[in-house]
Chains A and B, each alone.
Chain A
């Protein structure tokens, strides 16, 4: 197991280098000269200084090496548009918000989605099942901007239950965004758990347990549920990407000062170093999220260990 973990950890280094290279090369293609965007001629001396400060005249591989060095020493460079702010500052002040939002969304998805799936599987092809799957399918298909808008429309405005429509300050303000962002993962978990539960319920060991007269709650709790939850762990990896994507929308709608919103505004403002830094941050999250899931999966299901090493 340690060997497996070490190997997976070592693999992330070349992957990370490649991801940085892609991002870097793409950003270079659009880069041009960010300081000329105002159409105002910059004096040659200042231009030369700017070039020196941001290493714009170095050959690309030196710039890349510099950038990689920066990334691995946790320095993402200065922002090109927001003066006196480094990308690190932006990450430091806004990333915790996004992280919190994402965590709440996942918690909501699990505490609602998993029971919904279990309920649907235990009452398969009965009204409870249909209602649960209706909710799940809706969560699957309805775009998150509509979910967010409907939540605001009903809970914050029409019924006015005391939740604000925007911001990220009090605990009340955190409820609606977390639900809106967690709605898609919730639907995903519900469908997934229902599917695997139904499959597990037909396994021989469940039949045996039933045959020897175990109580239903015990069978479900001990045998079925435990085995049905493994796919939930593996699904968490890919869902991480969905939650990041969703956070762009949700942070924009609820005016939450997270990095998703910053990302969007940095693209519009052509603040390339911020865009690049945040892209790499997202990539790191996804890579380590998947790594974590793989390792956890290795613990939960020993059969996979052999294949993957």
Chain B
């Protein structure tokens, strides 16, 4: 992610391309300065799959945020006259075994699932940045020790580890899920950050900063961390699916979010018992999960190409 000659070169190319675009250039007008982020945006926009994925992603997030506000149905109110109501105009996705509108409940579950996903991902990044920067920046013995510690944590498989952490608390709620999923999966983020810091540390501009007497926090905050940003943004979209799947799995086996609270995992668990008569009940939350994972995946792909042009050739 370092600002390197290739990127500089690309910047110039992008400027030329910009001014060449119709409606953008008037003879003699000052050439518009394109920032690194504008470049990235232009590259991202050119990637059709990534743009479509982003639209799907935003649509899903908008759905889970908006629908519970505007829905006329109470997501917890039981109405047996509507139990397993089929798809209709009144109930776009039908109703569950208690006659609760699924369109509303899936949105509500999405709030929980996506909320847990984003919160845990941010926490993972936070811990990863702190741990990885300390390890990579200071280096030497400390780095070695910290990495061996990570090696040991890697020995613990994800789901059993998360389950044990949830058991440390009396009840399992959203916050416990966030904590458990974070603790069970922050190591990769720490490794990624450390790797970035170590490779960036050797750059000439860091040496120059050091030579003019910049303090460590300035080097770290001004030169190293901003340059890891691109990689970290990509990482968020790679990490999000894992966390959301983890939540779904935990809730599905009954060790996560429990009914009547809805999450995509617990909704799928509801549908699990009646899949023969009412397959849509397990199908719909699963499709929501797949929708989110696939769109996050293609967004990550597009972002990687956009933020790190060096990988574009392959």
Residues of A whose CB lies within 8 Å of any CB of B are: 11, 14-16, 18-19, 22-23, 26-27, 29-30, 137-138, 140-143, 145-146, 149, 152-153, 157, 198-199, 241, 244-245, 248-249, 252-253, 263-264, 267-268, 275, 278-279, 282-283, 285-287, 290
Contact = CB atoms under 8 A, between A and B. Distances in A.
Nearest to B241: A141
A23 B252 CA distance: 24
Given A26-B165, A30-B167, A264-B254, A241 B157 contact: yes
Contacts of A278: 160
Contact of A268 (B157, B245, B254, B294): B254
A237 B46 CA distance: 36
B164 A27 contact: yes
B168 A26 contact: yes
Nearest to A279: B160
Nearest to B164: A26
A27 B254 CA distance: 20
A267 B294 contact: no
Given A141-B291, A141-B293, 8 more contacts: A16-B155, A26-B164, A142-B289, A157-B276, A198-B314, A248-B249, A252-B253, A282-B160
Contact of B286 (A143, A253, A283, A290): A143
Given A26-B165, A29-B168, A264-B255, A248 B282 contact: no
A11 B290 CA distance: 39
A116 B8 CA distance: 40
A207 B260 CA distance: 61
Interface stretch (B15-23, B24-32, B90-98, B146-154): B146-154
Contacts of B167: 30, 267, 275
A23 B293 contact: no
A249 B252 contact: yes
B275 interface: yes
A283 B156 contact: yes
Contacts of A153: 275-276, 279
Contacts, number: 120
A140 B160 contact: no
Contacts of B297: 137, 140-141
B252 A15 contact: no
A146 B186 CA distance: 27
A140 B296 CA distance: 12
B243 to A, nearest CB: 13
Task: Determine which residue in B161, B165, B241, B294 has the highest number of CB atoms from chain A within 10 A of its CB, and name it.
Answer: B161
28 contacts: A14-B152, A15-B148, A15-B152, A15-B155, A19-B155, A26-B165, A26-B168, A29-B168, A140-B293, A140-B297, A141-B290, A142-B290, A143-B245, A143-B252, A143-B290, A146-B283, A146-B290, A157-B276, A244-B160, A248-B249, A249-B249, A263-B163, A264-B254, A279-B160, A282-B156, A283-B157, A286-B154, A290-B154
B108 interface: no
B245 to A, nearest CB: 6
B158 interface: yes
B85 interface: no
B2 interface: no
Nearest to B283: A146
Nearest to A243: B157
Contacts of A19: 152, 155-156
B152 A248 contact: no
B153 A264 contact: no
Interface string B243-284: 001001100111100000000000010001001100100110
A22 B153 contact: yes
Contact of B253 (A249, A279, A286): A249
B255 to A, nearest CB: 6
A267 B276 CA distance: 29
A110 B245 CA distance: 23
A23 B184 CA distance: 12
B314 A245 contact: no
A255 B241 CA distance: 27
B152 to A, nearest CB: 4
Contacts of B255: 264, 267-268
Contacts of B272: 145, 149, 253
